[in-house]
Structure 1
């Protein structure tokens, strides 16, 4: 996973976020998003107890007492607030998160998400994944097209434990943007130089697309 690909995904998701939204950022790629919001005024929430997360600090301003859910150094915007875990999850479970941006291990062609456990490996805990899947008004997935072993992360059917019955609204990878319509995956944008044939080969999930989507690449 190159930093350039991570940045591309973060920038593309930043385009989807609107002024005034409360946005939860999950572990991994999502935590880069505050660096690419430009002048947009949003309320970025970190489940470890912060509303008003700002961009990544420069090295000389790093304070490891101020970290994201990924345990990475962050900054606070003017007017930000700190609170305990119970209040953070009351915000999530109470339906006050407009958008949750989550990483995944897998997402299936209906939008169902697996992002917390791999059978046979040590499980640290589900964290806020299930709460965010259930409680956020919109779910955007930030993920690479394939896993480190080359296997597709966009699959026909989950082989890993589900994070909940609630489905994702959008998936953004380093190659493409997908949405879901009545349980079907749809390609809406190609954001790299891959051909449609290469994209199909990299994707186990079945998806629909229009000729206009392909020719506009």
Structure 2
């Protein structure tokens, strides 16, 4: 079966943004999660970047980029009124000290028990890029993962046990994919919402791991 309707990356970012509560301190990981900043609307959310920023806003308009104002992924960002810059070490102290409410991270794999693998596939020639992911995975109060449900070759990124090097053990709270939104619970992966034009049975088949409703 071919999935003809699934969430775009913009749709996924909007869906994650809708679940971030007012007043939260949030770190957006490199790549797909950075899109979330553009869809927070008027909510007061304090965006943190591990290179030493608190109070980031959405992406700048074309032509308004400031080369001195970038996030950890070297993307241009804006700064909201009251935003602050500080030392890299202070930024990591915030992450490790439990001061981040939600970390939104990308992933190569997530296990049914919430283990996260997102920094290295182990493939020959690939460049490991752990950055602050391990600190965020263990220090944030909640970890939201944004990822495609399937790899480019059609394998599920939801697995019984991660085969890639781990970023964190049992750290993932919620998973947002282009097919579904799932919570990691003591009973396994709970499907909160199916966002594609497929049945629960088809989602189960594509996922390759036990799911619960």
- The answer, yes or no, to whether TM exceeds 0.5 is yes
Relative distance call for 1:50 and 1:183 in structure 2 (3 A) is farther
Q: Does 1:80 align with 2:47?
A: no
Residues 109, 183 of structure 1: 8 Å contact kept: no
Alignment gaps of 5+ in structure 2: 1-6
SS in 2 for 1:160: coil
Alignment of 1:60-75 (within 5 A): 60-75=63-78
Aligned residues: 206
Q: Name the structure 2 match of 1:152.
A: 156
Separation in structure 2 between the aligned mates of residue 9 and residue 190 of structure 1, nearest angstrom:
12
Higher helix share: 1
Q: Name the structure 2 match of 1:28.
A: 31
Relative distance call for 1:62 and 1:117 in structure 2 (3 A) is same
Any idea what the Cα deviations from partners look like across 1:126-151, whole Å, max 9, x if unmatched? 21111011100011101111122322
Q: Name the structure 1 match of 2:4.
A: none
Q: Name the structure 2 match of 1:180.
A: 184
Q: CA RMSD in A?
A: 1.4
SS in 1 for 2:152: coil
Residue 100 (structure 1) aligned to one of 94, 98, 103: 103
Residues 134, 166 of structure 1: 8 Å contact kept: no
Residue 10 (structure 1) aligned to one of 9, 13, 18: 13
* More deviation, 115-124/59-68: 115-124
Distance apart, 1:198 and its partner CA: 2.8
State the TM-score, normalized to the length of structure 1: 0.90
Give every structure 1 segment of 4 or more consecutive aligned residues whose post-TM-superposition deviation is greater than 4 Å: none
Q: Does 1:89 align with 2:92?
A: yes
